[in-house]
Amino acid sequence: MTSAQDQRTDRRTDAIVVGAGPAGLATSRHLSALGIDHVVLERDVVGSSWRTQRWDSFTLVTPTWSVRLPGLDLGGFDQDAFLPRDATADLFDSYAKSISAPVRTGVEVGKLRRQDDGYVLSTTEGDWHARAVVIASGGLRRPHIPDVAELPVGVTALHAVDYRRPEQLPAGAVLVVGGGQSGTQLAEELRRAGRKVYLSTSMVGRVPRRYRGRDIFQWLTVTGNLNQPTEQTPPMMRNAPQTMVSGVNGGHTVALQQLARDGVILLGRLTGADGGRFTFADDLAGNIEFADTVAARIRAQIDKYIESQPGEFPPADTDAAEQSLDTVPNAPATLDAAAEGISTVLWCTGMLPDTSWLPDDMLEPTGVPKHEGGALEAPGLHVVGFPWLTHRGSGVLYGMADDAERAADRIKSYLTS
């Protein structure tokens, strides 16, 4: 991508945006609208993680209409469909071009340091100087792999960001570790491909894909669920994984009980691996119950909302995938990798922030920047695109642009003060 700005030789500007994903691009659009000179630095290409950290059959789990970026034209898209991986990445690339975002690709950032009344950011093309910096480098960019003792010899291990398709894996059974969106979708895909699949579950909620005639995301929007302020949300909920649901094949409900009916062998949470054996917690029944409870609570919220609305609505309904099991599977406490033919462990255990370029005193132990509503204590520093910055939608495509606009407005005030 080229523009007059990103060809400059003087590396001084009013604001630097680190990261050319959707959050960084939305921030750039708002900064441009306010007349703020800025640059967007990207180590790879625009929206690269959407292309390089997703499997081949990946789709968004939210409908196309929910991709809310300032100035984005979705006129040529099926608004109720779920965008595939490459189409999503292409959308962000075309968006960057349409707003003439001043992106410099292939630029690795090193360290940020304070200097006089601004900041110096070291990069592979030299030092950049600015009075304001926006952290849009991703709240979910680095793979998290749990610290288990030792995987059995001969077992291949890879994280979901490196998985592309079933044929990529060696022959044999697969142990999928992690019962969130990625883990359940990949367990589903691998089972459909004929693999023997073990799924180590965890305490993750689920939602029905559709309820009472509408997609669940429509309900979450109109009920105000996605606008729930961070300060009014219990920490346990803020730290919870994204709920199980899928956009594959037009979108469908994902439930542990349906995975069991499909032949996936459900297990409790992985607690260790040693001497060729995996060990698991005795919590499968509780994990199934927790997921069902979250789905029931969401339904109750929707029902209550409907009661306050005029007109007729379809009656309450239940997806067939949610039908209870006659009995909870008897999950083994241990598995012998060789005896069960397990050739692969697929880690679906979440992602961590990519903030190593920030000073340690600006970071929480988790790597998340210390902030108040997206603003760091140091003047002119802001973070966008991370989960729960100001509200439930902060880390998703539906709501991150709101935080981007807020950051741009604050930067404008700071620069003109």
User: Percent of the chain having pLDDT more than 90?
Assistant: 88
Summarize pLDDT for 108-141 with one digit per residue, the tens: 999 999 998 899 999 999 999 999 999 999 877 7
Domain boundary, last residue among 347, 373, 388: 347
Is residue 246 domain-shared with residue 114, that is, in the same domain? no
Q: What is the pLDDT of residue 322?
A: 96
Is residue 103 domain-shared with residue 231, that is, in the same domain? no
Q: What is the pLDDT of residue 5?
A: 44
User: Would strands 214-215 and 270-274 be described as parallel, antiparallel, or unpaired?
Assistant: unpaired
User: Percent of the chain having pLDDT more than 70?
Assistant: 97
39: closest CA among 24, 53, 56? 24
Number of domain units in the chain? 2
3-class SS string, 289-341: HHHHHHHHHHHHHHHHHHHCCCCCCCCCCCCHHHCCCCCCCCCCCEEEHHHHC
pLDDT tier for residue 74 given thresholds of 50, 70 and 90: very high
Is residue 98 domain-shared with residue 44, that is, in the same domain? yes
- Is 224 within 8 Å of 216 (Cβ atoms)? no
Q: What average pLDDT does the segment 173-183 reach? A: 97
pLDDT over 70 at 2, yes or no: no
Q: What average pLDDT does the segment 40-44 reach? A: 97
Q: Record the tokens describing residue 4, joined without a space.
A: 């007059």
Domain boundary, last residue among 315, 347, 379: 347
Q: What average pLDDT does the segment 7-29 reach? A: 91
What is the pTM assigned to this prediction? 0.94
390: closest CA among 15, 20, 23? 23
Is residue 197 domain-shared with residue 335, that is, in the same domain? yes
Summarize pLDDT for 321-375 with one digit per residue, the tens: 999 998 888 899 999 999 999 999 999 999 999 899 999 999 999 899 999 999 9
Q: What is the pLDDT of residue 239?
A: 83
pLDDT over 50 at 95, yes or no: yes
Question: In whole angstroms, what is the distance from residue 25 CA to residue 137 CA?
Answer: 11
Is residue 130 domain-shared with residue 149, that is, in the same domain? no
Q: What is the pLDDT of residue 19?
A: 96
pLDDT over 70 at 6, yes or no: no
- Residue range of the domain that includes 359: 5-141+353-415
- Higher pLDDT residue, 138 or 68? 68
CATH number, domain of 365, equals 3.50.50.60
Is residue 182 domain-shared with residue 285, that is, in the same domain? yes
pLDDT tier for residue 9 given thresholds of 50, 70 and 90: low
Is residue 343 domain-shared with residue 210, that is, in the same domain? yes
Summarize pLDDT for 15-25 with one digit per residue, the tens: 999 999 999 99
Least confident interval from 68-72, 151-155, 334-338 = 151-155
Q: What average pLDDT does the segment 383-409 reach? A: 96
Domain boundary, last residue among 330, 347, 364: 347
Summarize pLDDT for 264-309 with one digit per residue, the tens: 999 999 999 988 899 999 999 999 999 999 999 999 999 999 999 9
Q: What average pLDDT does the segment 175-204 reach? A: 98
Question: In whole angstroms, what is the distance from residue 108 CA to residue 124 CA?
Answer: 5
Is residue 29 domain-shared with residue 174, that is, in the same domain? no
Is residue 17 domain-shared with residue 45, that is, in the same domain? yes
- Is 329 within 8 Å of 198 (Cβ atoms)? no
Summarize pLDDT for 204-242 with one digit per residue, the tens: 999 999 999 999 999 999 999 999 999 998 888 888 889
The type of residue at 304 is K
Q: What is the pLDDT of residue 329?
A: 87
Is residue 123 domain-shared with residue 248, that is, in the same domain? no
Question: In whole angstroms, what is the distance from residue 69 CA to residue 398 CA?
Answer: 8
The type of residue at 122 is S
Is residue 213 domain-shared with residue 318, that is, in the same domain? yes
Among all chains, which residue has been given the structure tokens 């992690």?
A: 178
- Is 392 within 8 Å of 225 (Cβ atoms)? yes
pLDDT over 80 at 4, yes or no: no
User: Would strands 214-215 and 265-267 be described as parallel, antiparallel, or unpaired?
Assistant: unpaired
Is residue 264 domain-shared with residue 403, that is, in the same domain? no
Q: What average pLDDT does the segment 27-44 reach? A: 98
Helical axes 22-33 vs 85-98, angle rounded to 10°:
20
The type of residue at 61 is V
3-class SS string, the chain: CCCCHHHCCCCECCEEEECCCHHHHHHHHHHHHCCCCEEEEECCCCCHHHHHCCCCCCECCCCHHHCCCCCCCCCCCCCCCCCEHHHHHHHHHHHHHHCCCCEEECCCEEEEEEECCEEEEEECCEEEEECEEEECCCCCCEECCCCCCCCCCCCEEEEHHHCCCHHHCCCCEEEEECCCHHHHHHHHHHHHCCCCEEEECCCCCECCCEECCEEHHHHHHHCCHHHCEHHHCCHHHHCCCCCECECHHHCECCCHHHHHHCCCEEECCEEEEECCEEEECCCHHHHHHHHHHHHHHHHHHHHHHHHCCCCCCCCCCCCHHHCCCCCCCCCCCEEEHHHHCEEEEEECCCEECCCCCCCHHHECCCCCECCECCECCCCCEEECCCCCCCEHHHHCCCCHHHHHHHHHHHHHHHHCC
Question: In whole angstroms, what is the distance from residue 18 CA to residue 39 CA?
Answer: 8
Q: What is the pLDDT of residue 138?
A: 85
